[in-house]
Amino acid sequence: MASHARPRPAGTRVAGIRTPALATAALTSVALLSQTATAAPSTDDKPSLEEVEKKVDDLYRQAESATEKYNSAKEKTATQRKEVDTLLDDVAQRTQKLNEAREELGSFAAAQYRTGASAPDTATFLLADTPQDYFDQTQLMGRMTDRQKGAVDDYISAQSATMKKRQEATESLETLTDSQADLKTAKATVQRKLSAARELLSQLTAEEKARLAAIEKKKQEEAARKAAELAEQQKAAQQAAEETAADEAASSPSTETSTDSSYATKADKALAFARAQVGKPYVWGATGPDSYDCSGLTQAAWNAAGISLPRTTYDQVNFGTTVSLANAQPGDLVFFYDDISHVGLYIGNGMMIHAPKPGAYVREESIYYDGESAIHSVVRPA
């Protein structure tokens, strides 16, 4: 008797397992889905807040470094422009003298022509490339009067001086053009870095900005702790120095003490000025009175104390005497980063007054605001 059981179609389940046909199709689908998932962009690629903060800080630092280059180029351009103006004025005056000497020679030539005396020689003289070229080929000087010889000498001298000054003016103009190009490049770099930083911050959500603020607060707390430690170390060192001085029982103040007293007086004036600027905005390239960049603030502060600091951090770091951080006194300049792109005015107890960065204001802050490794050196400017 024939069986009535129907044949089982290929690919149906047997004990919960797919037959090879469907299994192969399923595995193929899974592989394709896996590849698609791998190729698709992931939201996990978004940088962490710590990475964003580091990138923004780096951009601000690069902008500040470019700002100091801008300040240097601006100062050089201003100096070069004054030199060019002076040279051009000098050239104009010498050209006038040259014209007067030429007119006097022309009057001699006209007189000789009217009297018929040496007219061809004088005409040849006036048409020569230079007076000296002519005199090297003729004996005209021997036939001239003392007054004529004096006029020729004046003309040669005026022509030589004018040509020399024109060359100096040309070279100075070329240098000015280079300085202006450097100025333009530095300005564009600052603006590009600041725009990139603003773009990164604009992409953060309100929650992310709040978390970023919390990270910054934690950094500030650590910086304050380090400042307090330095303050204790300096206090202990000061007490030890005072005890040593007392034990020596010197009959009169030493030169060093007198010098320290003089410095403290000047530093007090610089600090008083700096404190009066607290709350004013950081603006790159600014030197006051309504806004400052970092070196613009320190320059203005010490200028109030009668000390003329250079404009840029690169020059300020070489103005004065380098001292150790442990021996830092109020008024000293604290420089930051390997490229010396930031500076603040030390006020004691591990704190300083500085113009921090774009978007911030002049403020008192720990010198450890960006970590201990960021501190480059301390300089006493007077």
Q: Please tell me which residue in 152, 271, 294, 351 is annotated as part of the active site.
A: 294
152 or 351: which leads in pLDDT: 351
Q: pLDDT band at 169, cuts 50/70/90? A: confident
| Average pLDDT rounded to a whole number, residues 213-219 | 87
Is residue 326 predicted with pLDDT exceeding 70? yes
Q: Please tell me which residue in 69, 76, 165, 354 is annotated as part of the active site.
A: 354
Q: pLDDT band at 277, cuts 50/70/90? A: very high
Is residue 138 predicted with pLDDT exceeding 80? no
pTM for the predicted model, two decimal places:
0.66
- Please write the tens of the pLDDT for every residue from 15-42: 333 444 434 444 344 344 344 444 444 4
Q: Residue 62's pLDDT is what?
A: 92
Q: Residue 7's pLDDT is what?
A: 46
Q: Which of 12-16, 93-97, 161-165, 250-254 has the lowest mean pLDDT?
A: 12-16
* Nearest to 348, CA basis, from 219, 220, 223, 232: 232
3-state secondary structure of 323: strand
Residue 376: active-site member? no
Give the whole-number percent of the chain exceeding pLDDT 70.
71
23 or 131: which leads in pLDDT: 131
- Residue whose entry in the numeric block shows the structure tokens 């030429």: 102
Q: Residue 10's pLDDT is what?
A: 45
CA distance 71 to 315: 11
Mean pLDDT taken over the chain: 78
Q: Under 8 Å CB-to-CB from 101, ≥6 apart: which residues?
A: 151, 154, 155, 158, 159
Residue 294: active-site member? yes
3-state secondary structure of 274: helix
Amino acid at 236: A
DSSP per residue over 30-60, as a string? HHHHHHHHHHS--GGGSPPHHHHHHHHHHHH
C-alpha distance from residue 160 to each of 8, 97, 156, 358 (Å): 115, 12, 6, 53
- Other Cβ atoms closer than 10 A to 68: 27
Q: Residue 301's pLDDT is what?
A: 98
Q: Please tell me which residue in 61, 76, 311, 342 is annotated as part of the active site.
A: 342
Sheet of 321-323: strand order equals 321-323, 375-380, 333-336, 342-348, 351-354, 363-366
Both tokens of 243, joined, read: 């005890």
